[in-house]
Amino acid sequence: MLSDAQIPPDVSAGGAPDDQLGRPLRSLRVSVTDRCNLRCNYCMPQENYVWLPRKEILTFGEIAHLVEVFTTLGVENVRLTGGEPLVRRELATLVRMLAENPRIRDLALTTNGILFSEQAEELRDAGLHRVTLSLDTLRPERFLALTGRDMHAQVLAGIEAARRAGFQKLKIDTVVLRGTNDDELADLIEFGRRLGAEVRFIEYMDVGGATEWSHDQVFTRADMLDRLGKRYGTITPLEENSSAPAVRFTLPDGTVFGIIASTTTPFCRTCDRSRLTADGLWYLCLYAQSGIDFRQMLRAGASPEELAARIASAWRGRTDRGAELRASERHRGAFVGIEQLRQNPHLEMHTRGG
Ligand code: SAM
Ligand code: SF4
Ligand code: SF4
Tens-level pLDDT at each residue, the chain (354 residues) = 555 555 554 454 467 899 999 999 999 999 999 999 999 999 999 998 889 999 999 999 999 999 999 999 999 999 999 999 999 999 999 999 999 999 999 999 999 999 999 999 999 999 999 999 999 999 999 999 999 999 999 999 999 999 999 999 999 999 999 999 999 999 999 999 999 999 999 999 988 778 889 999 999 999 999 999 999 999 999 988 777 888 999 999 999 999 999 999 999 999 999 999 999 999 999 999 899 999 999 999 999 999 999 999 999 999 999 999 988 876 666 666 666 666 676 766 667 666
Q: Is 42 in the pocket of ligand 1 (CB under 6 A)?
A: yes
Which of 36, 48, 109, 110 to probe ligand 2 with, by most ligand atoms within 8 A of CB? Answer: 36
Question: CB count, 10 Å around CB of 70?
Answer: 30
Q: Is 349 in the pocket of ligand 3 (CB under 6 A)?
A: no
Query: CB of 11 within 8 A of CB of 19?
Result: no
Q: Is 281 in the pocket of ligand 2 (CB under 6 A)?
A: no
Question: Model-level pTM?
Answer: 0.94
User: What pLDDT, on the 0 to 100 scale, is given for residue 208?
Assistant: 77
Instruction: Give the Å distance between the CA of 205 and the centre of ligand 3.
Output: 12
Residues in the chain, total: 354
Which atom of ligand 2 lies nearest, measured to the CA of 43?
4
User: Buried (b) or exposed (e) across 295-313, using 16+ Cβ within 10 A?
Assistant: bebbeeebebbebbbbbbe
Which atom of ligand 1 lies nearest, measured to the CA of 43?
20
Q: Judging by DSSP bridges, how do beta strands 281-283 and 292-293 pair with one another? A: antiparallel
- Integer Cα distance of 221 and 267 in angstroms: 13
Distances, alpha carbon 322 to alpha carbons 176, 266, 299, in Å: 21, 9, 30
State CA 159 to chain mean position distance.
18
Which atom of ligand 1 lies nearest, measured to the CA of 204?
24
Which atom of ligand 3 lies nearest, measured to the CA of 274?
8
Instruction: Give the Å distance between the CA of 37 and the centre of ligand 2.
Output: 8
Q: Is 184 in the pocket of ligand 1 (CB under 6 A)?
A: no
Q: Is 146 in the pocket of ligand 1 (CB under 6 A)?
A: no
Which atom of ligand 1 lies nearest, measured to the CA of 38?
1
- Integer Cα distance of 177 and 294 in angstroms: 36
CATH 3.40.50.300 corresponds to the domain 4-352: no
Ligand showing the shortest atom-to-Cα distance for residue 208: 1
Nearest CA to ligand 2 atom 5: 83
User: What pLDDT, on the 0 to 100 scale, is given for residue 242?
Assistant: 79
Nearest CA to ligand 3 atom 6: 268
Q: Is 175 in the pocket of ligand 1 (CB under 6 A)?
A: yes
- Integer Cα distance of 263 and 276 in angstroms: 22
Q: Is 320 in the pocket of ligand 3 (CB under 6 A)?
A: yes
139-148 long-range contacts, CB within 8 A, separation 24+: 139/184, 142/180, 142/181, 146/40, 146/41, 146/180, 146/181, 147/38, 147/39, 147/40, 147/41, 148/38, 148/39, 148/40, 148/41, 148/45
Q: Is 65 in the pocket of ligand 3 (CB under 6 A)?
A: no
DSSP character string of 73-142:
TT--EEEEESS-GGGSTTHHHHHHHHHT-TT-SEEEEEE-STTHHHHHHHHHHHT--EEEEE---S-HHH
Nearest CA to ligand 3 atom 8: 285
Which atom of ligand 1 lies nearest, measured to the CA of 42?
23
Partners of residue 111 on adjacent β-strands: 133
Nearest CA to ligand 3 atom 2: 285
Q: Is 36 in the pocket of ligand 3 (CB under 6 A)?
A: no
User: What pLDDT, on the 0 to 100 scale, is given for residue 282?
Assistant: 98
Partners of residue 177 on adjacent β-strands: 218
Ligand showing the shortest atom-to-Cα distance for residue 321: 3
The domain segmentation of the chain, as residue ranges, is: 4-352
